[in-house]
Structures are given as structure tokens and as C-alpha cells.
Structure 1
Amino acid sequence: MTTVALAVTDGMLHFELSVAHEVFGTVPAGVPDPWYDLVVCGPDAVRAGRFRLEPDHGLDRLPYADTVIVPGWADVDEAPPADLLDAVRAAHEAGARVVSLCTGAFVLAAAGLLDGLRATTHWAHTRVLAERHPRVTVDPDVLYVDNGSVLTSAGKAAALDLCLHLVRLDRGASVANTLARRLVVPPHRHGGQAQFVATPVPAPGNHPLAGLLPWVLERLDEPLTVEDLARQARMSSRNLGRHFRSVTGTTPLQWLLTQRIRHAQELLETTDDGIDSIAAATGMGTATTLRRHFNRTVGVPPDTYRRAFRSRTHPHATTPARGLPGE
């Protein structure tokens, strides 16, 4: 079991706090136990928006958690309290993975955890973050940034994207997908190494590609072309490309390749199928083609990815979770 601690104090944004609590504090239906051990750490009583919160532990317990999450900080013009900064810094020094949601990046930056790293926050505050902390490389155009032990997200919905990314890293694509379905949101199943930036995925809805995208996902093993997609969508290839740009932010072929890579990741994580079989199942054709695209997209070859994932998730290959004293 992995301990996740929410670091809270007066002035936290309740939406981001609730997102983290929903993801890590509720066992999704269909997912085997154990789930995360979620605790809330803060002063005696905390005001988050109009809500009053009673933490489980003081901030001094943060260093005992495996993952520490700092929700959004409401007033970015106000310096975060010293005890919060000290506790977050101590948790990082103790080996915890430290995560900020939305403007929680201002807390991590003030604690010195983002110096020399790439980071993001809500787009409306990226300029202020960059000016106030010049040693941080602030990227205003991404959903979240993963530096390994320190992760930051943009605002609101991107906080959920990052939380799902954490679940995927810890529990794999299958569990992350199950959780995403329960939350009625699209899963973000990208792989990544020390640093990773996500690509937006279109949400379900009434758009021109709403019927096409599920159709494609059911046929990833087929050699689909842009003309095949346009024919299924009953539009010209030019109109298809325009709608793909609008809905997904990319081209039809690039979106299709991304879905093939995602499916390959899931098969590498959940099956013992050989690379040739996975190449066929994902429409890559040959193992050589799969390896080339996978290495370019994910950063490592498929075999390396499979070994790294299984060593991370095997119960005897990981460091035991650090539960809080007395638990």
C-alpha cells in the first residue's frame, strides 16, 4: 500500500483538494485491494474556500508519506506559510514524490523544489511564477510536467490528468483506465521517463469525431489510412484533418499512432505477448516498426519498457511503502 498525503493549510483551493481526495481516497469498483492509504496533513483546522477541514495529522507527518500532494494555492501574491514549506521540503528530502496541482506549484517553487526544473501551473499565473522564481523553467502550454520525484500540473481539469498519470505509473494502464471510466473522463496513458509532458486527449462529447474515434480504437490492429477514416466519418480527407486539429490538436495519422503506442504499452504491461504479436495487435505490422515508433515516442525500446514497468510494480522489487508512525 502506498501512502498519499495531502498537504493542506488555510488558503488551499477546494477543487484540486477534492480531485486528489477522490482519486486516491476511494477504491474504484473492479480494482483489487489494496488501494492508496490517503491521509490529510495540516494544522488543527483548515479553511479551503468555504469548507472547513479537519486534518488527520500535522504537517510534521509529511516525510513519512510516499507521495505528497499540494493542492492549489488560492492567493499567489501571498507567501505560503513557513511550516508548510519546511514540511514539503522535508518530505522531498526524505524521498517522497512531491506533486503540486494548479497553483500549488507556487508552494513547491517557494520551497526550492523546482529550481533547475521544468514546471507548469495554471496558465493565468505562469508569468508570475516565472518572474518570481527565475531558476524555474515555466512552461505555460502543457497539462502537466513529470520530473520523476517532482511533478506539477496546470489548472483544474489538468489536476485530474496528473492524478490519473500517477495512478498509471503506480498501478498500470488497466487500473488507470478503470478509474478513468468511473470518473467519466478520458485516460491519459502516456509513458515517460524522468520528465514527461502530456498531450491533450479529446473528451467525449457531441463533436464531429465522436462516432469515429471509438470506431478507430476498436480497429487498431487494422492498417487504417486517412482515407479509411474519412470514409467512415463521411467527410473529405481535408475536412477530417481540420476536425482532428480542432478536436485533438493533432493530425489524424499522429493521433492514430499515439493510440497504437498506448495500446502497445498496455499490452506490454498486462500480457506476456511477444513483440511481433504486439506489433500485429497494434497495427504496426512488424516488430521493427513498433520498436522504432515506440522508442521515438516513449524514449525506450518496448522490451526495456516492459522490464522497467514490471520491476516497478512487482511487490518484491519496490521499496516498502512508508506508512505513518503508529499505522
Structure 2
Amino acid sequence: MDTTGTLDEALQRLHTSGPERIGRLTNHAPMAVEALTANGQAAAVHRWLDLYASRLEEFPSGVEPVTDADWPSALGDPRRAADWIGYFGRELAERPWRDVLTRWWPRLLPGMYGGSTHPVIRVGHAVRTLLAGGDTGPRLTELAHGLGYWAARHHPVRGLVPVPGADSAAAALDAVPAVTARAGGFPDRLHRVRNLPVWAAAVTDPDEAHRRLVELVRAATHRYATHGHGDATMLVHAATAPNAVLRALPALPRVLWVPSVQAAWTASAAVTAMYAPDAPVAYVPPGPVTPGEVFEQAVAHGDEHVIKLADTALDLGDERALAAAVRAVRLSEPLR
């Protein structure tokens, strides 16, 4: 847990900004600064924010307040982002944050594919810092922003046809068929995802669901080391989206763990289908480098996706995960 006060300062600075810019691109700053402080780089937070500041837009205007009576009509409406953030701010002021998360998780989970999966990732970062004991005002407000962004960008995926899968997460990701047309951004490609391999569908035990989710995060992170060139930015989400779900599980009732791993699989597999390269490259070990040194490389590089993948790689800590983070540094454009 950050004890310097830097994270709270950064979040207060960021909560005057909206969750997106130019109508569709995600504001990654709250996620990145949480990753920096969680990995001992609090001293770099404000310097990084100064570089990222030009990508921030003012907090959007509201339309009308979301209420308990009419929330279904506002779900999935990006114009209502400010309304949703205000709603969750009120909820978190009146109820314990775990109760709010538990109530809304099953409502939001089917739509975790909107916003290129960034809303659930933002929630995962917020939950991690709250679970560490930091239930300060700015951190609760950050959870409100994350949940509100998720509700505004809520987008279910329907019409998927299951195809034969595999026993392991790695083999199941290998079996994901690529979409036939690669043009367009995330929403366009998501509509073209039709067939996904079956994996973890028969899981009913919460402990097995947790184990499977750890396996999926590891497999998707490892895969980036050899497949990240398909899209250096977007393929990061095949690992960071399920890891966000994994980070939230300890705050959720065990009955929600099984549907969580199934939704996380769909997200990871869909991203793989949309951005997988035609062929992998040979695996390159990261060399004699420590996890801390890998994260320092990511911080020096500065790209928000590189930082977040390195953050996930450090959760795993093995050689192939570190290799994936080093690969992201080499593939991605640095923050200037």
C-alpha cells in the first residue's frame, strides 16, 4: 500500500478529467498511477502525469441523474458517463464499497467488453488499492469513476458459437480462430467475433474458477512474448482484462467467481481473435533481469499499456511473464 499520499494526490488531480477523450479513447492515467504506486514507483507518478496531461479532457457534463428506478435505461449509454459516476459516488457514500461492488458486479459483468475492456481494468486497479487497506476518499471516488465508466460503456457480446477448445488456457488461446476481417477499431472487430473455443465452461467450484483465472492470466501474458506484434497495444488487454477480474475476486462473494472466470475468458479470447498475428515469433528470454528492473524499464518507456502489462507480469513473476513485459517495451512507442 502506498503510504506517501502520492496516489491520493494523483487521483484527486485526475478526477476533474473524464474517463475518455475525443469521444472514444480511454483515459488510462488512473490505472497507470495505481500501477506505479503499487510497484514502488510513487516518485515517478507526477512526472508521468505531466507527460500524459495533454491526453486528458475535462469531466463531461451530465444528462440527468441515474436512479435505482431507471438505471436499466441508462446502461450502456456513453453519454451518461457523468450521470453514472455521480450515481456510484452517492452509492459509495451511503454503503460499504464491497456491498456496492457485490450488488453491481453481476449486472456489469456481461458488458465488460465495452470500452475495449478498459472499464473493468480500471475497476480492478481501484479494488486492488482498496483491498490493501486504502479506503480513502480519493480511492473510493476512483471506484465510483471505474464503475460509472463500466456502466456507461456496458456492451454485452451475443451470438457466440462455441467450438472445440482445449484443456489448458494456453492451448485454448492457440485454438482461437482469428476474425476474417481486421479493419476497424475494437467495436467493429468485436462484432465480427463469432466462434470461440470452449474453456472453463464446465467449472462450478469457486476455487477451481480462481485457479483457472490465474492460469488464464499467465497464459495470456506469456503469449504476448511471442504474439504481441499482432497489435502491441490491443493484445495487452488479453492479459490485463482477466487480471482485473482476478484482482476483484477477493472482494466478491464466492458465488460470483464462476461467472467471472467465464466472462474473463470471453474477453481474453475475443481480444486474441481480433488482433492475433498471422504467425508467432520465436521466444526470446528476458536475460538476467529482476522484476523490479523490468518495471523500471516500463516506467522509463512511459507508455500506459506497457506499464500495465509490466504490472501484470510482476503479479506472475516468472521468466516468460517478464519476457512479455520486455517485449512490450520493444514493440511500443514511448510516451513523449
Q: Which has the higher helix share?
A: 2
TM-score, with structure 1 as normaliser = 0.27
Q: Which has the higher strand share?
A: 1
Considering only CA atoms, is the larger Rg found in Structure 1 or Structure 2?
1
Q: Which has the higher relative contact order, 1 or 2, with Cα contacts under 8 A spaced 6 or more apart?
A: 2
